[in-house]
């Protein structure tokens, strides 16, 4: 790799202020977040930034990751494909996007259209696949052929643009991404804007049970409390069958705090004079508050809606205070998020090869996508109403 490589540094040599002018409100593409991704423990990966000139002084860009080994199954394209019996590739290759956050964005300067940006990025990815083959970043890949390249957690609009640019494989539905709109009136207007009196009453009961149990919320920065947060996260990991080492989690949180500074905010739930029983890590970034992590000491909970108050209601209040228009609640737990006013939008996996082996499986992939959407819609009435149908429609 030369000094002009996208892996010269986490921004591919672009100045941080120029990169962040492209990212705008997108936390998970920001310079600071890419710095965290580059330093986070686990796996063998290299974080970079691909940026290319477009038109008359414009720029298109995207985060990229050279993946030799990625332990997070959500980011293992081969696991998603093999689970459906689809042809795939080994784990080594090029990831379009960063390895933490479950969102990948095509970036462009003002005046550069999405399809124009996608065409420039797609062409640059094709060249990078050849440059990376057998390189010191991906030593397990053969030097005689382009490395595999996949975009994960892409929006529908970005998939449509990349497909128009030449990505031949049909996209695979990965997840439903939850976004809670925050009205001008903040907490009160949000609650009264819920679509039924039953839901408003539900929130009021949740808050009353929480307050009657003597709980209060305190706030801190992650840099001040990463050890405490990690110990609580262990409990949630164990609850869902994931063994974890508190020292490893604490080190990851420490590195995240070092990269993100005071933007990494933590809400703790507890009774005054006692250690906290839960936490939520979040970022107010541009017009969006992003929920990042949560953990609880389940043995000490009082069945007083600690989860909903800490992970949803407190961030909604914090978002309103920060002037944010959205709370990004992320993937999974669709029903709980839909009940609290979230919209659900799709995220996709896309093979970036012009000669994708998935092209011959378009019908089966679309059938799978449609079945996953139907399963989502059938899971609850709230979820069915929360699904943004037009965003799923092109590939379901």
CATH number at residue 292: 3.40.630.30
Whether residue 336 lies inside any domain: the answer is no
Distances (CA, A) of 356 to 167, 183, 216: 8, 43, 53
Whether residue 53 lies inside any domain: the answer is yes
Mean pLDDT of all residues in 287-302: 97
Whether 78 and 212 share a structural domain: no
Whether residue 3 lies inside any domain: the answer is no
Whether 195 and 221 share a structural domain: yes
What confidence tier does 240 reach under pLDDT thresholds 50, 70, 90?
confident
User: What's the rounded Cα separation, in Å, for the pair 199 and 321?
Assistant: 23
Whether 282 and 361 share a structural domain: no
Q: Which of 348, 250, 237 is nearest to 297 (CA)?
A: 237
The pTM of the full predicted model, rounded to 2 decimals, is: 0.95
Whether 165 and 190 share a structural domain: no
Beta-bridge partner residues of 47: 65
Mean pLDDT of all residues in 364-376: 98
Whether 193 and 313 share a structural domain: yes
Question: Which of the listed residues 324, 355, 385 is the one where a domain comes to its end?
Answer: 324
Per-residue pLDDT of 81-99, as tens digits, reads 999 999 978 899 999 999 9
User: What's the rounded Cα separation, in Å, for the pair 269 and 291?
Assistant: 15
Check residue 242 and give its pLDDT: 74
Per-residue pLDDT of 334-357, as tens digits, reads 999 999 999 999 999 999 999 999
Whether residue 198 lies inside any domain: the answer is yes
Q: What's the whole-number average pLDDT of the chain?
A: 95
Structure-model confidence comparison of residues 236 and 151, the more confident one? 151
Whether residue 261 lies inside any domain: the answer is yes
Whether residue 44 lies inside any domain: the answer is yes
Asked if the model's pLDDT at residue 3 lies above 50, the reply is no
Whether residue 339 lies inside any domain: the answer is no
Whether 40 and 108 share a structural domain: yes
Q: Which residues form the domain of 380?
A: 16-176+346-395
Separation of CA 192 from chain center:
29
Check residue 377 and give its pLDDT: 97
Whether 60 and 151 share a structural domain: yes
Whether 153 and 86 share a structural domain: yes
Residue in this structure with the two tokens 């595999």, named with its chain if needed:
148
Number of domains in the chain: 2
Whether 384 and 309 share a structural domain: no
Rg (CA), the chain: 21
Whether residue 218 lies inside any domain: the answer is yes
Whether 389 and 291 share a structural domain: no
Asked if the model's pLDDT at residue 1 lies above 60, the reply is no
Whether 26 and 171 share a structural domain: yes
Whether 269 and 167 share a structural domain: no
Residue in this structure with the two tokens 């164990």, named with its chain if needed:
238
């Amino acid at each position: 790799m030369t000094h002009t490589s996208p892996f010269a540094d986490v921004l591919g040599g672009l100045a941080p202020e120029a990169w962040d002018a492209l990212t705008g409100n997108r936390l998970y593409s920001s310079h600071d977040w890419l710095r965290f991704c580059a330093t986070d423990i686990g796996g063998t990966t290299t974080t970079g930034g691909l940026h290319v000139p477009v038109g008359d002084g414009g720029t298109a860009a995207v985060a990229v990751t050279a993946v030799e080994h990625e332990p997070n199954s959500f980011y293992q394209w081969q696991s998603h494909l093999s689970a459906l019996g689809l042809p795939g590739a080994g784990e080594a290759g090029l990831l379009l996007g960063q390895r933490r956050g479950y969102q990948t964005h095509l970036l462009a300067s003002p005046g550069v259209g999405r399809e124009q940006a996608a065409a420039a990025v797609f062409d640059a990815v094709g060249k990078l696949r050849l440059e990376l083959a057998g390189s010191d970043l991906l030593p397990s890949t053969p030097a005689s052929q382009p490395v595999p390249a996949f975009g994960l957690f892409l929006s529908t609009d970005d998939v449509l643009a990349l497909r128009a640019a030449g990505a031949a494989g049909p996209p695979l539905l990965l997840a439903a991404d939850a976004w809670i709109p925050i009205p001008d009136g903040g907490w009160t207007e949000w609650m009264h804007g819920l679509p039924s009196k039953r839901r408003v009453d539900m929130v009021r009961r949740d808050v009353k049970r929480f307050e009657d149990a003597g709980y209060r919320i305190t706030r801190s920065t992650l840099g001040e409390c990463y050890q405490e947060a990690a110990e609580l996260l262990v409990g949630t990991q164990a609850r869902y069958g994931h063994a974890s080492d508190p020292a490893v989690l604490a080190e990851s949180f420490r590195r995240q705090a070092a990269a993100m500074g005071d933007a990494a905010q933590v809400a703790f739930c507890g009774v005054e004079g006692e250690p906290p029983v839960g936490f939520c890590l979040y970022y107010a970034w541009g017009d969006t508050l992003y929920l990042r992590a949560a953990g609880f000491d389940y043995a000490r909970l009082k069945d007083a809606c600690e989860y909903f108050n800490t992970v949803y209601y407190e961030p909604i209040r914090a978002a309103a205070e920060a002037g944010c228009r959205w709370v990004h609640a992320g993937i999974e737990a669709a029903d709980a998020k839909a009940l609290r006013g979230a919209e659900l939008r799709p995220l996709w996996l896309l093979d970036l090869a012009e000669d994708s082996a998935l092209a011959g499986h378009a019908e089966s992939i679309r059938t799978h996508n449609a079945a996953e959407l139907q399963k989502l819609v059938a899971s609850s009435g709230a979820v069915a109403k929360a699904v943004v149908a037009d965003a799923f429609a092109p590939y379901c």
